[in-house]
Amino acid sequence: MTDTQRNEAIERADEHIFSMGLGDVAAEMSLLNMRYGIAKMHYVLRELGHTPDATFIATPDLTVTRNDERWNAGIGYGGKVTWGPGDREVVFLDIKPNCCGMLVGGLSEPQALVETAERLDAMLDDRAQLDGIALDWDIGTGNHFVDMMRAEPVAPRAKLPAWCFVMHFSGDELRGDNELGMGLYWHDSAEIQRRMTVFETPWGPCRTLLGDDAREYWEFFQRADDFITRRRLMAAERLFDDFELIANLHHQGLVNPNAAVLGCQDTSQGGLMPVMLRESTPGYLFHALPNLTDATIDVLSWRERAERHGVLDQLRGANVIPHGAGYMLPGLSRVLQVHEFHGRRYYEVEAVEHAVRIMLGTPRDLTYAYRGRRVILASAEYSLGEIAARLMPVYVLKA
């Protein structure tokens, strides 16, 4: 592929990215990086004889991922990526689905921090199993947590208990080969590495499962999602008594064989969904809404481009809402350029102080913070959901 063809392919990938992001440096870096991931998917789909229509719909929490494998593969965070109508026998492994999610439970009375901490401490040592699989609780890893919050209804129809707890964690036990199947992560699973097809694209390798292997991975993912959903519930039952289950869903994984949410939640089943911000900042519960509406698509000026590329139905059926605020990069003022050397990408950015230039391969070690209510306001503005309640933080617990 010539340089001109590579540039045209990147421009075409960019045309398949539709962003509701907030426009800060973290969002800009994510969009620039995602162009390469979408271009790789287009390349593979064309090689397989499919229409190259992979699309990324970025939610208001659009940001960088601090996971090196995802980032280096050209994957951003905060949005939904699709690569077909759901019946194509191809799964893109570089998105690294892991079923990370949140559970929200309602309480009539708040549980004391010391009691919750004591129960969590005991749970970490109890060598619990689920379906014969030893559990390795990851509460406290990274941005995982248990929050106690006071619920303040906003919408008149929101009937909620006076108090809520929110738990955020995933399931490390299933990332490699396990009793349920081939594992979630390509680099942790010998079985996936044996089966996967690696396409060498102009922007680096694109790891895929095809045919029967793709179908089997989707079936395994559904088992894994069910397992981790029950795992969250099991943890909640050990930490709290007599709670009302309000929400329990993932925000990092497949939603059908040709679509995945990357740090956002699928609203297609309705119900209440949490959107959590910083530790000392209120979180929110949203009534999920079908989205995107035609009115929102027109407000965002997406219709002509979506029709031209034949992906309008992917926008109309997005059904997404953020799960959190997303990272911001407070030390950076702008992105200057993306450099490519010997198949590797480097981002040249400018620091706020003294306009210092920084060249980096991944954003993992940059100073970061979490955004605030702008994500909430944008989610409501674009009719991704209706605010049902404000969750006022009382305490945060990390193992």
**What does the pLDDT read at residue 37?**
98
How far is residue 376's CA from residue 368's CA, in Å, rounded to a whole number?
A: 19
Q: Which residues contact 244 (CB under 8 A, 6 or more apart)?
A: 105, 106, 107, 161
**The pLDDT of residue 379 is above 80:** yes
Q: What is the pLDDT of residues 268-307, one digit of tens each?
A: 999 999 999 988 899 999 999 999 999 999 999 999 999 9
32-59 average pLDDT score? 98
How far is residue 377's CA from residue 220's CA, in Å, rounded to a whole number?
A: 36
Q: What's phi and psi for 252, nearest 5 deg?
A: -150, 90
134-146 average pLDDT score? 78
**What does the pLDDT read at residue 393?**
97
Task: Output the CA torsion 139→140→143→144 (10° steps).
Answer: 20
Which tokens is 86 given?
């759901």
Q: What is the pLDDT of residues 318-358, one digit of tens each?
A: 999 999 999 999 999 999 999 999 889 999 999 999 999 99
**What does the pLDDT read at residue 209?**
98
Q: What is the pLDDT of residues 88-107, one digit of tens each?
A: 999 999 999 999 999 999 99
Query: pLDDT band at 316, cuts 50/70/90?
Result: very high
Closest CA to 154 of 392, 318, 348, 397: 392
**What does the pLDDT read at residue 124?**
87
**The pLDDT of residue 143 is above 90:** no
Q: What's phi and psi for 273, nearest 5 deg?
A: -135, 135
Q: What is the pLDDT of residues 114-126, one digit of tens each?
A: 999 999 999 988 8
Strand runs labelled E in 277-378? 283-288, 320-322, 327-328, 332-341, 344-351, 357-360, 369-370
How far is residue 330's CA from residue 327's CA, in Å, rounded to a whole number?
A: 9
Q: Where are the domains of the chain?
A: 3-397
Do 391 and 150 meet the contact criterion of CB atoms below 8 Å apart? yes
Fold classification of 3-397 is: tRNA-splicing ligase RtcB (3.90.1860)
181-195 average pLDDT score? 97
pTM: 0.96
**The pLDDT of residue 391 is above 70:** yes
Query: pLDDT band at 264, cuts 50/70/90?
Result: very high
Q: What's phi and psi for 336, nearest 5 deg?
A: -95, -45
Q: Is 350 exposed, middle or buried (0-12, 13-18, 19+ CB in 10 A)?
A: middle
Which tokens is 201 given?
């694209």
How far is residue 325's CA from residue 223's CA, in Å, rounded to a whole number?
A: 29
The two beta strands, 55-63 and 17-19, are: parallel
In the 8-state DSSP scheme, what is residue 95? G
Round the average pLDDT of the chain to a whole number and report it.
95
Percent of the chain residues topping a pLDDT of 70: 99
**What does the pLDDT read at residue 142?**
65
**The pLDDT of residue 218 is above 80:** yes
Query: pLDDT band at 140, cuts 50/70/90?
Result: low
32-61 average pLDDT score? 98
**What does the pLDDT read at residue 23?**
97
